[in-house]
Amino acid sequence: MRSFATKRWAGIEGLTLLVVAIGVLTTSSGLILAGIIGFGYAAYTKLWDAPVADVSIDRELGDEAPAPGETTGVTLTITNTGSKWLSDLRVIDGVPPALETIDGPARIGTSLRPGETTTCHYTVSVVRGKHTWDSLRLITRNPSGSRERETVCEVSTTLRCTPPLHAGANLSLHGLTTPYSGRVTTDVGGYGIEFHSTRAYRSGDPLNRIDWNRRARTGTLSTLNFREERAATVILLVDSRKEAYVAAEPTGRNAVERSVDAVATIFSSLISNGDRVGIATMSPTECWIAPQSGKTHTARVQEALATHPGLAPTATEGTLYHTLWFNRFIRRLPADAQVVFCSPFVDDRPIYTARRLHAYGHLVTVITPDETTADTIGDRIAAIERQHRLQTLRGNGIRVVDWGDEPLPTAVMAATQRWSQ
Amino acid sequence: MSGETTSRGQTRQETINRKPAAASSYAAIFLSLLAAAVLVLGSLVGATIAAVGALITTVSVYRGRQKGVTLGALMTTGAIVAAGVLGAPPAPLLGATGCAILAWDIGSSAIDIGQTLGHNADTARLEAVRAAFSLFVTSTTATVGYAIYVLAGDGQPMTALVLLILGAVIIIAVYRQ
């Protein structure tokens, strides 16, 4: 980039001439001599242009794949590969927006002779996702600071942070299931463990299901039915619109991050129960993984939860056309799928989504991270509004897990006790 | 809630402490006070005005106000002019001018470095090199000025000095081309 004048020393010639003129008029030799310093500086500011930052930069990460919540050191090594002395070199590293610099700013001001090397070290706290450092800004100035030149230097470094999947919370599902056997107890009589009903014997019924007690008592044959246990198809839907990126504290984890945590936990517990589970987002950058089961599917979901831009720890740009999104989503949704919907419910849009899904016959369970606080009147009104929204959902027969500060399994347990099957 | 609770959607970068760089700030405050102290040898009135200038510079550097530092430097310049008009000898005037211009240069670059890189960034070397350059320019020009004064002697006409200055202006004009 071309250098430009900082106008830092603007007016020094005029001021000096004024002082000298006063010195001449009052015959004060001291003032005239003082003018020499001023003129010296005026000449100094005209010396040299801002040098071109001819440097090589290397960025090294302490750990390229740390676990979420860990910290990792970043070391910048800057070497002056040009032939000019960079007397005033300022380097500003472009830290990915989701990472927090916790030890020293990612910036350094230095002075490098040709061939000389300096390092800058800082630490970032890592969150889930794929984070890329793209560019650095280099600012050089001439010694007087009257000219400046800014260069952007491309040095790409990628850090991947994939959270492990831990099964933790057993979310009891609704009775909407697939024909495949699984763990969800249904109201269908057949093979199973829990008693369901008895019916008249039909030839061909297995011997072990004949009610022999009744046969002994009355002499008629009847067959026992048990509740069938079947597998469910579940879509885990995350609200990651810009509005959902809210946190109770400025440094706390936001609702989307907590939703993704909940999804990861529920996903692994459901998939290990034999259910078919898929992932979807309600966001401008849409994510859709059709419900399946198996190890490959698990690996794909784990990767998506870590790095998909629609589930990123910071909001993505773009507009969500809600009706279009919903129509597309409902078309993709298998007819027998239930939906687990994670949203902080900070506006009315998710209510509309949940109620429409419910109306279409997909049973909906809502998991809502509570990010409201009670610090100010406004905060309390927001909390009341949110409670009112959840009340509306419960009134519509939608199951709600209100997830505060407690661990997710505790919240699920507390909510499950209230649900009538 | 999105309005009331802290929405932290966009980025999670650290909030940079944009206070001025420490070492340069102290140097600037010291130099502005030194300018006032040196001016005591020339004129008490001048020294008093310069002390006000030093106070403005100190407060401005502490609060990171670029314009305030310039105002403080202009105040000190006014003090030097006042001292010169009241007949102060050249040596304290030269000393005070050197200190005042150094104070402004180092103080304003402390604020600038704080704005660009932050108070906690490692900027020691940058500050040292910049200050060394400024010190060299000041001491060289002040020495040249004083040498001219001594060589020219008291009896020499003022026009010789003025012509010298004019020569300097022409040199600067040539540099500007």
How far is it, in rounded angstroms, from Cα A13 to Cα A122? Answer: 43
pLDDT of residue B79: 92
- Which of A230, A264, A288 finishes a domain? A230
Query: Chain A residue with minimal CA distance to B123?
Result: A109
> Which letter does DSSP use for residue A243 in this model?
G
Residue A384: is it exposed, middle or buried by C-beta count within 10 angstroms (0-12/13-18/19+)?
Answer: exposed
How far is it, in rounded angstroms, from Cα A334 to Cα A234? Answer: 9
Based on the fold, state whether residues A130 and A61 are members of the same structural domain.
yes
Q: pLDDT-derived band of residue B165, with 50, 70 and 90 as boundaries? A: low
In-domain check, residue B85: yes
Give me the domain span that covers residue B89. Answer: 22-152
- pLDDT of residue B157 exceeding 80, the answer is no
Based on the fold, state whether residues A237 and A248 are members of the same structural domain.
yes
Q: Answer whether B149's CB lies under 8 Å from B98's CB.
A: no
pLDDT of residue B9: 38
- From A189's Cα to the closest Cα of chain B, the distance in A is 47
Q: Which residue has the higher pLDDT, A195 or B16?
A: A195
Based on the fold, state whether residues A394 and A303 are members of the same structural domain.
yes
The domain spanning residue A146 has which CATH number? 2.60.40.10
In-domain check, residue A327: yes
The domain spanning residue A293 has which CATH number? 3.40.50
> Taking the mean position of all CA atoms in its chain, how far away is CA A323?
24
Based on the fold, state whether residues A218 and A79 are members of the same structural domain.
no
Q: pLDDT-derived band of residue B18, with 50, 70 and 90 as boundaries? A: confident
Q: Which two tokens stand for residue B7?
A: 């929405």
Residue owning tokens 């809630």: B1
Backbone torsion region of residue A198, taken as left when φ is above 0, otherwise alpha when ψ lies between -120 and 50, otherwise beta:
beta
Residue owning tokens 């129509």: A327
Q: Answer whether A365's CB lies under 8 Å from A397's CB.
A: no
> Taking the mean position of all CA atoms in its chain, how far away is CA A12?
52
Tell me the chain A residues in contact with residue B142 when contact means C-beta distances shorter than 8 Å.
Answer: 36-37
Q: Answer whether A271's CB lies under 8 Å from A277's CB.
A: yes
A117-125 and A129-141 as β-strands: parallel, antiparallel, unpaired?
A: unpaired
Q: Which residue has the higher pLDDT, B21 or B4?
A: B21
- From A8's Cα to the closest Cα of chain B, the distance in A is 9
Give me the domain span that covers residue A191. Answer: 181-230
In-domain check, residue A85: yes
Tell me the chain A residues in contact with residue B81 when contact means C-beta distances shorter than 8 Å.
Answer: 19, 22, 31
Residue A202: is it exposed, middle or buried by C-beta count within 10 angstroms (0-12/13-18/19+)?
Answer: exposed
Q: Answer whether B118's CB lies under 8 Å from B173's CB.
A: no
pLDDT of residue A387: 93
Based on the fold, state whether residues A274 and A394 are members of the same structural domain.
yes
Query: Chain B residue with minimal CA distance to A90?
Result: B117
Classify A408 as helix, strand or coil.
Answer: helix
Based on the fold, state whether residues A295 and A323 are members of the same structural domain.
yes
What is the phi/psi pair of residue B17, to 5°? -75, 110
In-domain check, residue A169: no
Q: Which residue has the higher pLDDT, B156 or B92?
A: B92
Tell me the chain B residues in contact with residue A80 when contact means C-beta distances shorter than 8 Å.
Answer: none
Q: Closest Cα partner for B99 from B147, B50, B169, B44?
A: B50
**Measured between CB atoms, which of A27, A107, A247 is closest to B117?**
A107
- From A333's Cα to the closest Cα of chain B, the distance in A is 29
In-domain check, residue B176: no
Tell me the chain B residues in contact with residue A150 when contact means C-beta distances shorter than 8 Å.
Answer: none
In-domain check, residue B8: no
- From B148's Cα to the closest Cα of chain A, the distance in A is 8
Contacts of A98 (CB under 8 A, 6+ apart): A127, A129, A131, A312, A313, A314, B11, B12
Classify A66 as helix, strand or coil.
Answer: coil
Tell me the chain A residues in contact with residue B14 when contact means C-beta distances shorter than 8 Å.
Answer: 100-102, 105
In-domain check, residue B161: no
What is the phi/psi pair of residue A386, to 5°? -65, -45
Q: Closest Cα partner for A80 from A49, A48, A113?
A: A113
**Measured between CB atoms, which of A27, A100, A386 is closest to B158?**
A27
In-domain check, residue A334: yes
A399-403 and A364-369 as β-strands: parallel, antiparallel, unpaired?
A: parallel
Q: Closest Cα partner for A254 from A353, A343, A133?
A: A343
Based on the fold, state whether residues A261 and A407 are members of the same structural domain.
yes
Q: pLDDT-derived band of residue B3, with 50, 70 and 90 as boundaries? A: very low
Based on the fold, state whether residues A285 and A313 are members of the same structural domain.
yes
Q: Closest Cα partner for A140 from A85, A95, A83, A93?
A: A85
Q: Which string of b and e fits A170-193 if b means at least 16 CB within 10 Å?
A: bbebbebbbeeebbbbbebbeebe
Based on the fold, state whether residues A10 and A98 are members of the same structural domain.
no
Mean pLDDT of chain B: 82
> What ipTM was assigned to the predicted interfaces of this complex?
0.84
Contacts of A166 (CB under 8 A, 6+ apart): A264, A265, A268
**Measured between CB atoms, which of A27, A34, A101 is closest to B94?**
A34
Classify A368 as helix, strand or coil.
Answer: strand
Cα torsion angle, A208, A211, A216, A220, sign: negative
Contact A38 B1 (CB under 8 A): no
Q: Closest Cα partner for A245 from A223, A230, A260?
A: A260
How far is it, in rounded angstroms, from Cα A192 to Cα B33? Answer: 92
In-domain check, residue B169: no
**Which three-class secondary structure string do you get for A373-406?**
CCCCHHHHHHHHHHHHHHHHHHHCCCEEEEECCC
Q: pLDDT-derived band of residue B1, with 50, 70 and 90 as boundaries? A: very low
In-domain check, residue A297: yes
Into how many domains does chain B fold? Answer: 1
pLDDT of residue B132: 93
Query: Chain B residue with minimal CA distance to A101?
Result: B14
Tens-of-pLDDT digits for all 421 residues of chain A? 788 888 888 888 888 888 888 888 888 888 888 888 888 888 888 878 888 888 999 988 888 778 888 888 999 899 999 898 898 999 998 888 888 888 878 889 999 999 999 998 999 888 888 888 888 899 999 888 888 999 888 888 888 887 777 766 666 666 655 556 666 667 666 777 778 888 888 888 888 888 888 889 998 888 888 877 777 889 999 999 988 888 888 777 889 888 988 898 888 888 888 888 999 999 888 889 999 888 899 989 988 888 888 888 888 888 888 899 999 999 999 888 889 999 999 889 999 999 999 998 888 899 999 988 888 999 999 999 999 999 999 998 888 988 888 888 888 888 887 776 4
In-domain check, residue A405: yes
Classify A176 as helix, strand or coil.
Answer: coil
Tell me the chain A residues in contact with residue B112 when contact means C-beta distances shorter than 8 Å.
Answer: 8, 145
In-domain check, residue B86: yes
How far is it, in rounded angstroms, from Cα B139 to Cα A159? Answer: 51
Q: Select from B10, B11, B14 the residue whose CB has the most chain A CBs within 10 Å, as the one to mutate to test that interface.
A: B14
In-domain check, residue A166: no
pLDDT of residue B6: 34
Q: Closest Cα partner for A171 from A271, A296, A288, A298?
A: A271
- Beta bridge partners, A119, equal A77
In-domain check, residue A126: yes
pLDDT of residue B54: 92
Contacts of A245 (CB under 8 A, 6+ apart): A254, A255, A256, A314, A315, B7, B8, B9
- pLDDT of residue B153 exceeding 80, the answer is no
In-domain check, residue B163: no
- pLDDT of residue B45 exceeding 80, the answer is yes
- pLDDT of residue B4 exceeding 80, the answer is no
Contacts of A399 (CB under 8 A, 6+ apart): A174, A364, A365, A366, A415, A419
Q: Picking from A281-295, B129-143, B155-169, which range would have the lowest pLDDT averaged per residue?
A: B155-169
- pLDDT of residue B171 exceeding 60, the answer is yes
Q: Which two tokens stand for residue A114?
A: 């040709």
Angle, helices B66-85 vs A12-25, to 10°: value is 10
A276-282 and A288-292 as β-strands: parallel, antiparallel, unpaired?
A: antiparallel
Count of CB pairs separated by less than 8 Å, A with B: 239
Q: Answer whether A101's CB lies under 8 Å from A122's CB.
A: yes
pLDDT of residue B81: 92
Based on the fold, state whether residues A212 and A251 are members of the same structural domain.
no
- pLDDT of residue B156 exceeding 60, the answer is no
Tell me the chain A residues in contact with residue B6 when contact means C-beta distances shorter than 8 Å.
Answer: 246-250
Based on the fold, state whether residues A37 and A67 are members of the same structural domain.
no
Based on the fold, state whether residues A155 and A27 are members of the same structural domain.
no
Q: Tens digit of pLDDT for each residue in B75-89? A: 999 999 999 888 888
How far is it, in rounded angstroms, from Cα A123 to Cα A39? Answer: 46
In-domain check, residue B69: yes
Into how many domains does chain A fold? Answer: 4
Q: What one-letter code names the amino acid at A22?
A: I
Residue owning tokens 């405050």: B29
Helical ranges in A132-288 per DSSP H: 212-218, 255-272
The whole-number average pLDDT for the span B143-150 is: 82
> Taking the mean position of all CA atoms in its chain, how far away is CA A261?
10
- pLDDT of residue B38 exceeding 60, the answer is yes
Q: How many CB atoms lie within 10 A of CB A69?
A: 12
